[in-house]
Amino acid sequence: MAASRNRITIPGRSMARYILGRILSLILVLFVVSVVTFFLMHQVPGGPFDETKAPLPPAAKENILRKYGLDKPIHIQYLNYMKNAVLHFDFGIPYQQPTTTVTALIAKSWKVTAQVGVMTVLLAFGAGITLGIYAAYHQNSWIDNITTFIAMLGITVPSFVVAMWLILFFAVRLKWLPMGGWNASDACLLGSRFVCTDWIMPVVAYALGPLAIIARYTRSSMVDVMRQDFTRTARAKGLGNRAIMLRHILRNALIPMVTALGVIIPNLLTGSIFIEAVFRINGLGKFFVTSIFNRDYPMIMALFLLIAFLWSLTYLFTDIVYTWIDPRVRLGAEGGA
């Protein structure tokens, strides 16, 4: 107890130490992830140059293996790989498209995934917070009930199931929206890349889960704060509803949202695989699946490292933001007890 109080009196230094510790553990995690992935990948039965269709002459095969460094022992292969990856940002050559590099392929397809992700986050937070606030203000009204229902559905039902339902209803039955694609020219209004109808279903299906979590979090923390003494004091002072709402309730109610963020963003990273598969979007998620089917080690390795990196970065980020906005959180102390 004394130690933790001591730490809080010198926030700058303890914060720096805390962040440093977290960054070190992030590096450790990435190291473990890279080792595990690398060795698992090389466990895969069947190499990329196995001759099933056209057998190569042994000399030619040896040449190819040497070119890609596959003739060396596995730990040397790992060290070479990590050296190139960390120092030169070079993740090798994808077996499925040997004319480009992994970095170039990822650079080409990440934008689509990022676009889907950003729109999803905007929709999830915008609609989730709005619904949550509304439901908290009108408890047990029909809006509250609908919010509870949406939250239940979004939290329990997988995104690809929601996606199929949207397709069945809006694309197959009503024929209002395209079945899939992203930024397809015939789906975009106002020239192109501005408003596209093929954005609607992927983003809605993708956003429903996080939206549900956010709405539920917002509602419960709003209800909590609305019962607090300081809210009653503000009302007794004669403050207007809007001022109470914005300055007193919302500000405090949104603190737990950072935790929600920490849950949602990492899940969005992997969730994209399903959405891109259902809607035939050519983003990173789709690459991940095709890479697995093609046993494309360099591509899988790079994508997996990328996701693990972003994943642990969001964990780090939300933890730091959380200790920063809420001084009640004790730094470095064991939380479980």
Residues that bind another protein (CB under 8 A): 25-26, 28-29, 32-33, 37, 40-41, 43-44, 152, 155-158, 160-161, 164-165, 167-168, 172-173, 179, 266, 269-270, 273-274, 277-278, 288-289, 292-293, 295, 300, 304, 307-308, 311-312, 315, 336-337
**Least distance from another protein to the Cβ atom of residue 293, Å:** 8
What is the SS3 assignment for 70? coil
CB 304 to another protein: min, Å: 6
Nearest-approach distance from CB 101 to another protein, in angstroms: 22
First to last CA, the chain: 13
Nearer to another protein, 249 or 314 (CB): 314
Beta carbon of residue 237, minimum distance to another protein (angstroms, whole number) = 33
In the complex, the smallest distance separating the C-beta of residue 280 from another protein, rounded to whole angstroms, is 9
| Closer to another protein by Cβ: residue 37 or 252 | 37
Nearer to another protein, 135 or 276 (CB): 276
Q: What separation in angstroms does the CA of 267 have from each of 155, 180, 261? A: 12, 22, 10
Query: Nearer Cβ to another protein, position 112 or 151?
Result: 151
Between 175 and 237, CB nearer to another protein: 175
Cβ closest to another protein, residue 54 vs residue 334:
334
In the bound state with another protein, the residue whose beta carbon lies nearer, of 134 and 274, is 274
Least distance in angstroms from the C-beta of 337 to another protein? 5
Query: What is the C-alpha to C-alpha distance for residues 37 and 95, in angstroms, rounded to an integer?
Result: 17
Nearer of residues 132 and 266 to another protein, judged by Cβ: 266
Q: Which residues contact 18 (CB under 8 A, 6 or more apart)?
A: 320, 323, 331, 332
- Shortest spacing between CB 59 and another protein, in angstroms: 30
How far CA 319 is from CA of 92, 256, 290, 329, in Å, comes to 33, 12, 34, 10
Tokens of 316: 């780090």
Distance CA 14, CA 333 (A): 11
Query: Which one, 61 or 280, has the nearer CB to another protein?
Result: 280
Write the secondary structure of 192-230 as one string of H (helix), E (strand) and C (coil): CCCEEHHHHHHHHHHHHHHHHHHHHHHHHHHHHHHCCHH
One-letter amino acid at 5 equals R
Contacting residues for 135 by C-beta, under 8 A, at least 6 apart:
141, 143, 144, 147, 148, 215, 219
Among candidate residues 318, 272, 321, the one with its CA nearest the CA of residue 109: 272
CB of 157 to another protein, least distance (A): 5
Closest listed residue to residue 211, CA positions, set 143, 272, 150: 150
Q: Least distance to another protein from the beta carbon of 180, Å? A: 9
Q: Which residues contact 179 (CB under 8 A, 6 or more apart)?
A: 167, 171, 172, 279
Encoding tokens for residue 92? 């090798």
